[in-house]
Amino acid sequence: MQDLRAIDEFTSISSFILPFCYTKWISDVVWVKPPHAVQIPSGCYSIPLGHIKQDAGDTTVYIGSQLEYFVRENLYRPPEDLLDVRVCRLHVVDITMVLRSGRPLDCTCNIVERRLQSRHRPLLDICLDTFSANNPFKVKVASGLGSACYDKLASSYSATLKAVARRSCEHAISSCCLVCRQQRQLLVLRHLQSLWTCDSTPALEANMASLVSAVTATSSGADLEEDRHDTACAMEETTSNLRDVWRLWMSSKAAVASQSLSPWFMHLAGQMHDLPHFSAPTEERNRWLAALRRLCECMLAYETRPSVCTIASSQDDGYTSPVIVEETLAEVLKVLHEVLHPCRQVAAEDAARMTFSKT
Distance (Å, rounded) from C-alpha 167 to C-alpha 162?
A: 9
What SS3 class is residue 146? coil
Q: Can you give the pLDDT at residue 279?
A: 74
Q: Can you give the pLDDT at residue 57?
A: 62
Distance (Å, rounded) from C-alpha 14 to C-alpha 19?
A: 9
End-to-end CA distance of the chain: 14
Q: Can you give the pLDDT at residue 115?
A: 61
Report the predicted TM-score, pTM, of the whole model to 2 decimal places.
Answer: 0.72
What is the Cα 254 distance to its own chain's centre?
32
- The DSSP code for 36 is T
Q: Can you give the pLDDT at residue 181?
A: 76
Query: What's the length of the chain?
Result: 359
Domain boundaries, the chain: 1-92, 119-135+276-359, 136-271
Residue 56 in contact with residue 46, Cβ under 8 Å?
Answer: no
Distance (Å, rounded) from C-alpha 162 to C-alpha 156?
A: 10
Distance (Å, rounded) from C-alpha 37 to C-alpha 56?
A: 35
316-353 burial: b if 16+ Cβ within 10 Å, else e? eeebbeeebbeebbebbbebbbebbbeeeeeeeeebbe
Q: Can you give the pLDDT at residue 304?
A: 78
Q: Can you give the pLDDT at residue 204?
A: 92
What SS3 class is residue 176? helix
Distance (Å, rounded) from C-alpha 179 to C-alpha 102?
A: 42
Distance (Å, rounded) from C-alpha 166 to C-alpha 181?
A: 10
Residue 270 in contact with residue 154, Cβ under 8 Å?
Answer: yes
Distance (Å, rounded) from C-alpha 161 to C-alpha 238?
A: 11
Q: Can you give the pLDDT at residue 118?
A: 64
What string of pLDDT tens digits covers the 359 residues of the chain? 344 444 445 455 555 677 788 888 888 888 888 888 888 888 889 999 988 876 556 667 888 888 888 888 888 888 888 888 889 888 888 887 777 655 544 444 444 566 666 667 788 888 888 888 788 889 889 989 999 999 999 999 988 888 877 654 444 456 667 777 788 888 888 999 999 999 999 999 999 998 888 887 755 444 445 566 667 777 888 999 999 999 999 988 777 777 788 999 999 999 888 888 777 778 888 888 888 888 888 777 777 788 888 888 776 666 777 777 888 888 999 998 888 875 554 444 444 444 444 44
Distance (Å, rounded) from C-alpha 222 to C-alpha 215?
A: 16
Residue 9 in contact with residue 50, Cβ under 8 Å?
Answer: no
Q: Can you give the pLDDT at residue 25?
A: 83
